[in-house]
Structure 1
Amino acid sequence: MIHIASPELSGNEKLYVNECLDSTWISSSGRFITDFERAFADACGAKHAIATNNGTTALHLVLAALGIGPGDEVVVPVLTYIATANAVRYCGAEPVFVDVEPDTMNMDPRLFEAAITPRTRAVIPVDLYGHPADMVAIAAIAELHGIAVIEDSAEAHGAEINGGRVGSFGLATAFSFFGNKILTTGEGGAVTTNDAALASRMRLLRGQGMDLERRYWFTDVGYNYRMTNIAAAIGLAQLERFDESLARRDQIAKQYDALLSGNARLALPESRPEVRRVNWLYTVTVEGLSADERDQLIVDLASEGIETRPVFHPLHHLPPYLQPDASFPVAERLGASGISLPTHLGLSENDIATVCEALSGALDT
């Protein structure tokens, strides 16, 4: 099976994890947590990084630290992983969906502006499949209306806008380090920010609301969102090969581009000139394909030993957020016709050629 994703753990991961085991520092204290937070903040060009136990809790932590709650609205792209909206609901607030741009699959800034009401407290643009959202336009609109910008970069470690890396824009940025991500800690997440007061507030809430200067004195109802030292050890080792990993993913994307560009039925990933897209999952859309036909294509490729996955279902189609009368035509088309292909460092050139041959053959039948 050519898998869609697979972590690459050939660096110092085992050495650092064994250090945790030998020292018995395996929980949420230890040198690797602070070292990883510092190194990840530096990699993003941010002043602070707060490590968490997954990407969803990273999103929720920002919202909770900002005091977002019942009666508030948060604007969210309708095409994203469900965690983006779930984190809003955890706070008792309401996610307000907007459609996406056809070329980037990201939030359309014009539709974001049209969705703002007096109840809007925040916006969460998502850097879907590694292409950064239009943070310049979104931030300008948000500033006019006094709205917090929380970037969801779970899928875009190392992506850039005008030479600056994601994680340094907006008020805060949330990341995921799940096993299929560009950087992994197994399970894990982080929030980056340049706001010292917000960082301090998130650190307090992350540790059950315990005062950062007075042990076992709890000032707030907080959460247990802490990353383990073992997870941070894996993450620190991953960061040591970060640029190498991004470069290899670029090579994989270029090979896909070269082999698939002649297929008129396929729309390949695009990159706007001001951004560096990172290739988390190389994702294409198939012209004229229905959702049922796309799902059958996934089955057909699996029968040939190739694992793929569909683009996310638009949130308004899912039971927790069902809006049967709503229309988000761009997201609906992308969600029905999109498919992500294997994208990880373990792929060989022959693997990629096999995937492309199988995909092209399936579309020709």
Structure 2
Amino acid sequence: MPVILGIESSCDETSASICVDGAILSNVIANQTIHEAYGGVVPELASRVHQQNIVPAVQQSILNAKINKNDIDAVAFTRGPGLLGSLLVGVSFAKAFALAKGIPLIEVNHMQAHVLAHFIDEPKPSFPFLCLTVSGGHTQIVLVKDHFDMEIIGQTTDDAAGEALDKTSKILGLPYPGGPLIDKNARLGDPDTYQFPEPQIPGLDFSFSGLKTAILYFIRDNVAANPNFIAENINDICASVEKRVVTILLNKLKKAALQYGIKNVALAGGVSANTGLRQGLKQLGEEMGWNTFIPQFQYCTDNAAMIAIAGYYKYLKSDFVGQDVAPLARMPF
């Protein structure tokens, strides 16, 4: 009955989790509010706050799980991809903890962990399945054949879907983080008010840079004609932008499912917390006869539970790393 401590510090969330025999007993997430004043994550500040948060987060996670630190059999940590300074804090803590306790280290790929978040709760998807993984920095369609046999069959050629939503929030003057505010305002608006272009990218790849530019010019031109345009139409703008991002994502996912003949379809990553995307996948799944899987909200954004569950499956394979392991800002999938 292995007990795994999971550590996540790839961006601006410091998180610790305890997994016992494949069950998540705690998932502590310490957010960083310091970046709100800058409209985005400042890497140097993020790494400093991680140093302040990591020991309390781990301690609280152990307390919440009602275990003793001596019960822990291995430490799983995010090696990458992510902000190098932030990763360094988590990796250094994991190495020190493992060395002090004489227990193994388990490296985890952050993007693979988002996919494996589906194995935290029931129902779990059966193999093979497709996973649309959408975050601020990544947009991927992943063919999942086994827990660690994954193939990216489609990905963004430029910007990520989450980046398009974040950029829209900045253009609209919304405070950071803007993604949840886009979601909130979109629930009050009409998604058919404004029509934004859908990029015609061949195959299963995505592109969002053109959409970002179209939104920028749309807002610029309408504000020039009416300085109060944003304030008067904020809900409809958010709803229309969200609808286009969601349709771009789901159209490619539908194409992939038909191409590979797969009926098990999952959603993961920070943007999978978006209400419109979650509802859109469920609706499309009903139309297509899919079995759809979406994690709980707490397992969509960056969290250590997904690191711990990935670590659990690696522990069963004795897939460990040594003390010479170093963080990777860009880590191959």
TM-score calculated relative to the size of structure 1: 0.31
> Hey, which of these two has a bigger chunk of strand by percent?
2
> Hey, which of these two has a bigger chunk of helix by percent?
2
TM-score calculated relative to the size of structure 2: 0.34
